[in-house]
Amino acid sequence: MTENSSHTSHLGPRNVAGGDVDERYVPMDELADTVRQLVDGPARLADLFGTQGHDGVTTLRSVWAFDDQHRYLLLRTDIQDADYPSISTIHPGAYIEECEIYEQFGLRPIGVEHLNRVALPPQPDSDIPRLGSRSTEERGPTRSPHVIGGQAFEFPFGPVRAAGAESLYFGLVTSGEEVVDLYLFTWHKHRGIEWRLRGLYPAQALFLVQRIEGFSAVAHGMAFAMAVENAQGMAISQQTTRMRNVALELERIYNHTAALAALCQACGLAVGQANVEIVLERLLRLNAEAFGHRYLFDVVDIGELVDTPNLDVLRHDLPAIIADLRRVTDALSTTNSFLDRLESTGVLDAVKAAALGAVGPIARAAGLDIDSRRDHPRDKFCTPNNVALQRGGDALARYEIFRTEIESSAGLIAELTGPLPTSVPPAADTHPAGIGLGWAESARGESLAWVSLDEDGRIEHARVRPATVRNWRAFGDAVRSRNVFTDVPIIEASFWLTAAGGAR
């Protein structure tokens, strides 16, 4: 969509630092029509959140991805009252964000009867830090009612599930063995990280951002660093961009490998699990040798590289590790008892995936051709040659996506660790204040970060949206697709999400 598009020709354009992002203001009485036009057009809703200024006015902000045009559009609307036109009644993928906006700011979307707790616990507690100052006294139901009819009953599972497992609550509704409904709560370990970021300098905040979801430290750090760099008009070299992407692809490989091990465990294949976990340990040791940390913490910095990674160890050791993993997955792919457990388990079709705003392997396994590395590139050399796609939408399709992307990422790392450019970043007019958007394709999909910096360069507002946030909402639909109790661990492993990414 261009500035002259009939969809948004009435909106005043404002360029956000970073030439592929625009911000536009939409009056509240035009918000619903604008959203309908965007949904009917080529736009994809990527995020929805709120910020509150010193005057107490809450601004509703939405991020729309124009993947075919390699650009993002940010819409902002000032909310003067306690209610605003619902976006989820137009696009169901906005429901979770509307629940979160109510938790943080006390604003209810018009036309939505029930709102669930997402990040904050349902018990009222005035001591829980919130991003807004408006009273959040309950004004109507804030939790969808549990409706269990006939001979069905709810089987509670969690939040304490097993040693080392994150806190989650599954309310599995069943009449015997088949799961007919699911109530999922992910808020048990909310840490208020976005609230904690306010007032910090970006370099201080980066430490917390990378620990929102430990398995995505590179992706979240990269998105946040890009948002700050865009806000301050900071240019970075090709070498820095490429080394960030090397770390990002290593993060993808070890996450997908961990997901394969979890799938083996869920299917009761102890030998397969052990063989995959041997490879996983080798990958984590390789991360430490190349970048200094097994889980790639503190690899990304704002601006240029601080330390040059050990590329020689990557060139020498990674191909052999990938070859060993390939032998294991080739064996798994000829093991009928494994494949039978994955096939037709946890089905999520393309229509539901698109409606719920799924991203990453979850979306691509359902046939949605989206990948921010290709759709929103920052360096053409950091783009995969092919984006893996499957159509089945089941656990088997997600398994195949993991396998294919591991190979693709290894090939991309080989290209990125070849002869490095010697170019320096172009001169830029940097400034401490501004707003910026950043993104990265994490192992779980598109991760976004948005910042607003004041004149001292401190964070006024920050938003970090892990891919996990977009994908948990699809998990329930996958579980409800004619599955039994023992399928739930398989579906969870094939989604490979975290509770931390939602309870940030």
Dig out the tokens for 115 from the structure. 């709102």
Dig out the tokens for 220 from the structure. 């979240």
SS3 123: coil
Q: What is the DSSP code (8-state) at residue 139? A: -
Please, what is the average pLDDT of the chain? Answer: 87
Element (H, E) at 452: strand 445-453
* Confidence label for 41 from pLDDT (cuts 50, 70 and 90): confident
Asked if the model's pLDDT at residue 296 lies above 90, the reply is: yes
Question: Which residues, other chains included, contact 203 with Cβ-Cβ below 8 Å and sequence gap of 6+?
Answer: 301, 302
Name the CA radius of gyration of the chain, rounded. 22
- For 186-199, how does the pLDDT look when each residue is reduced to its tens digit (9 = 90+)? 888 888 899 899 99
Write down the pLDDT at residue 157.
83
The whole-angstrom distance between residue 481's C-alpha and the CA centroid of its chain comes to 23
Residue with tokens 């005043």: 12
Q: Between residues 217 and 116, which one has the greater pLDDT?
A: 217
Residue 55 burial (CB < 10 Å; 0-12/13-18/19+)? exposed
What domains appear along the chain, each with residue ranges and CATH number? 1-143 (3.30.460.80), 153-185 (no CATH), 193-495 (1.10.645.10)
Q: What is the DSSP code (8-state) at residue 416? A: H
Dig out the tokens for 273 from the structure. 């699990």
Q: Between residues 449 and 504, which one has the greater pLDDT?
A: 449
Nearest C-alpha neighbor of 245 from the set 197, 326, 185, 300: 300
Report the DSSP beta bridge partners of residue 44: 65
Distance CA(445)–CA(467), nearest Å, equals 5
Contact 466, 445 (CB under 8 A): no
Q: Where are the alpha helices (DSSP H) in 333-375?
A: 336-342, 350-356, 360-365, 372-375
pTM: 0.91
- For 314-337, how does the pLDDT look when each residue is reduced to its tens digit (9 = 90+)? 999 999 999 999 999 999 999 999
* Confidence label for 6 from pLDDT (cuts 50, 70 and 90): very low
Q: How many CB atoms lie within 10 A of CB 298?
A: 18
Question: Which residues, other chains included, contact 165 with Cβ-Cβ below 8 Å and sequence gap of 6+?
Answer: none
SS3 275: helix
Question: Which residues, other chains included, contact 80 with Cβ-Cβ below 8 Å and sequence gap of 6+?
Answer: 28, 57
Task: List phi, psi (to 5°) of 377.
Answer: -75, 145
Residue 238 burial (CB < 10 Å; 0-12/13-18/19+)? middle
